[in-house]
Amino acid sequence: MKLAAAEQMRKLDRDAMEKFRIPSIDLMERAGQQLCRETAELLAERPGRRRVSIFCGAGNNGGDGIAAARLLFLQGVRVRVFLVGSYEKLTSDALEMTGRLSECGIQLEAFDPESREQQAWALGSQVLIDALFGVGLSREIAADSPFAAAAELMNRAGGTVLAADIASGVEADTGRILGCAVKADRTVTFTLPKIGQFVGDGAMYSGQVRVREIGIPETLVCAEVCTSQTVGREFVRAALPPRKPDGHKGTFGKLLAVGGSVGFTGAPYLMAAGAVRSGCGLVYLGVPEEIWEVEAHKCVSSMPFPLPGHKGMLSAKAFQPVFEKLAQCGVLALGPGLGRSQEITEVVCALLRQAAGPVVLDADGINALAGHMDVLDARQGRVTILTPHEGEFLRLEGASLDGGRGAGARDFARRHGCTLVLKGHRTLTATPAGTVLVNTTGNSGLAKGGSGDVLTGVIASLLCQGATPVQAAAAGVWLHGRAGDLAAERKTAYGMSPQDAAEALPLAFADVLETESVEE
């Protein structure tokens, strides 16, 4: 699903009006109709006195709310409309909607943050509509402003909060909260979903996002090129490498996974488990000799082998046997549980320099890159997937999240010619071409040590089987998150473990494949 930036939405509106001669007031009326429809649905879920409060700004987003007020009144709903801001600043379309509302006998009321009567009405409303600001908001909302007071009133009300197009205070392009924001239970967004509704804090403040049409011609929407999109079942289904009925274990890829150290024996095991559970034919697991017996006991479906170690971690001498083993394998997964030392840095950098095939780099493999970005840059033209969490990402030279997670991930992937999986709530996959894919699966049960190791194995496994780097990364993240959701359904987010997520991976694959069977 494409995700639009604020400027793209402004352009679509302009093109609809200029190229297709669609009056802007008609677009506003249709937006009001969609808000009215959603409100009626919410009122049906909350039977009572059918009371609605609408908080409007002076811009066109406020005009959408004023249009909805008239339509709700005509359906017999008790509605009051509060203008937050100056009447003199109403846009021409919002002013026209105010006149139409007045003809029905309803006046636009000036919002008074000190009015107990207005507060009582809002707090007793079944639905509260947020139409304060649209996607154009780029400045912070002052804490002492009436807009902040209106947002706070909606947030503490017991009714359902419905945002018009975007929750006020959420920056459309980043999901950043601009001072304060309305926390919506549902957002009716027009034409295309917005980036900020799926990333950053905006993902938490948008509630359930529903996309509704307001008359922008489909030809314009289809022609709009969006550099951000969400990942769904259709994407994952298309990304899954086919399974040949007559295939053998060598057909489905050979993975060399390297990781682990004394005290971190779970990380390589989970990485290997993620790979095996994702369809890889042969998984070789290289670990320091000090922990080889532990891994050999744990791993019954992968093939652990010892590597030269020093003080419980890989020594510099491990490079040569790893490099020789890599000649037999298609993909190298490197990093989980390695620990940090000068010798680890030497091994990681040497492997990145010498490995001609794809490399998936995670955890301490990424930490080893800090101060050695030239090694990553030298791999441009070869496949490299990095899977950092934000802390690991920010340790890398030149990495920044000042402009938001999406912008930071996109810039890094472009500059270094790699695929970047920036882990966290709504994990992002950024490509060298500048596209950002937003994941929507997963839950807080995955916020436990070891979950990322499973993900590394899943991504490397899909690469081994023939998926493209972008497919392997984005589909791997989705499947890992979906496995986490299925594990949480059985064991709760509190009780599930990374191993539970790994064991639920077959169910996540089945979810995708069974959906395909039903659709066929």
- 201-248, pLDDT tens digit by residue? 999 999 999 999 999 999 999 999 999 999 999 999 999 999 999 989
Are 436 and 301 found together in one domain? yes
Task: Kindly state the tokens that stand for 364.
Answer: 């301490």
pTM of the model: 0.93
Amino acid (one-letter) located at 100: R
Q: What is the mean pLDDT of residues 124-132?
A: 97
Are 206 and 339 found together in one domain? no
Does the pLDDT at position 35 exceed 80?
yes
**What CA dihedral angle connects 418, 423, 429 and 433, to 10 degrees?**
-40
Asked if residue 238 belongs to a domain, the reply is no
Per the CB < 8 A criterion, the answer to whether 481 and 442 are in contact is yes
Are 91 and 128 found together in one domain? yes
CA-to-CA distance for 159 and 144, rounded, in angstroms?
A: 24
Of 200, 230, 260, which residue is a domain's last? Answer: 230
Are 111 and 151 found together in one domain? yes
Which stretches of 319-368 are DSSP H helices?
A: 319-326, 342-354, 364-367
What is the reported pLDDT for 49?
76
Tokens 């990333």 identify what position? 199
Asked if residue 240 belongs to a domain, the reply is no
Per the CB < 8 A criterion, the answer to whether 128 and 69 are in contact is no
Residue range 411-428, pLDDT digits in tens? 999 999 999 999 999 999
SS3 state at 40: helix
Are 226 and 261 found together in one domain? no
Q: How many domains does the chain have?
A: 2
Q: What is the mean pLDDT of residues 338-358?
A: 98
Task: For the chain, give the mean pLDDT.
Answer: 96
Of 199, 230, 261, which residue is a domain's last? Answer: 230
- Which of 185, 147, 187 is closest to 169 using CA atoms? 147
DSSP state of 285: E
Neighbours of 92 (CB within 10 A): 11
Per the CB < 8 A criterion, the answer to whether 273 and 457 are in contact is yes
Domain membership of residue 28 as a residue range: 2-230
Does the pLDDT at position 520 exceed 50?
no
Asked if residue 32 belongs to a domain, the reply is yes
Are 217 and 269 found together in one domain? no
What is the reported pLDDT for 516?
55
Neighbours of 208 (CB within 10 A): 10
What is the reported pLDDT for 346?
98
CA distances to 83, 377, 397, 402 from 371, in Å: 54, 12, 7, 20
Are 16 and 107 found together in one domain? yes
Does the pLDDT at position 283 exceed 90?
yes
Are 162 and 282 found together in one domain? no
Are 210 and 341 found together in one domain? no
Query: Percent of the chain beyond pLDDT 70?
Result: 99
Asked if residue 244 belongs to a domain, the reply is no
Does the pLDDT at position 38 exceed 90?
yes
Per the CB < 8 A criterion, the answer to whether 410 and 227 are in contact is yes
Per the CB < 8 A criterion, the answer to whether 421 and 459 are in contact is yes
Q: What is the mean pLDDT of residues 190-204?
A: 96
Asked if residue 195 belongs to a domain, the reply is yes
Asked if residue 239 belongs to a domain, the reply is no
Is the sign of the CA dihedral 232, 432, 505, 452 positive or negative?
negative
Q: What is the mean pLDDT of residues 84-92?
A: 96
CA distances to 59, 68, 70, 72 from 78, in Å: 24, 12, 10, 8
What is the reported pLDDT for 156?
97
What is the reported pLDDT for 518?
45
Q: Bridge-partner residues for 397, per DSSP?
A: none
What is the reported pLDDT for 515?
61
What is the reported pLDDT for 47?
73
Q: What is the mean pLDDT of residues 64-86?
A: 97
Asked if residue 96 belongs to a domain, the reply is yes
What is the reported pLDDT for 364?
97
Q: What is the mean pLDDT of residues 489-508?
A: 98
Does the pLDDT at position 517 exceed 70?
no
Decide the pairing of beta strands 51-56 and 282-288: unpaired
Are 225 and 268 found together in one domain? no
Query: Percent of the chain beyond pLDDT 90?
Result: 96
Report the CATH number at residue 150.
3.40.50.10260
Q: What is the mean pLDDT of residues 471-486?
A: 98
Asked if residue 199 belongs to a domain, the reply is yes
Are 331 and 209 found together in one domain? no
Report the CATH number at residue 336.
3.40.1190.20
Are 224 and 257 found together in one domain? no
What is the reported pLDDT for 514?
86
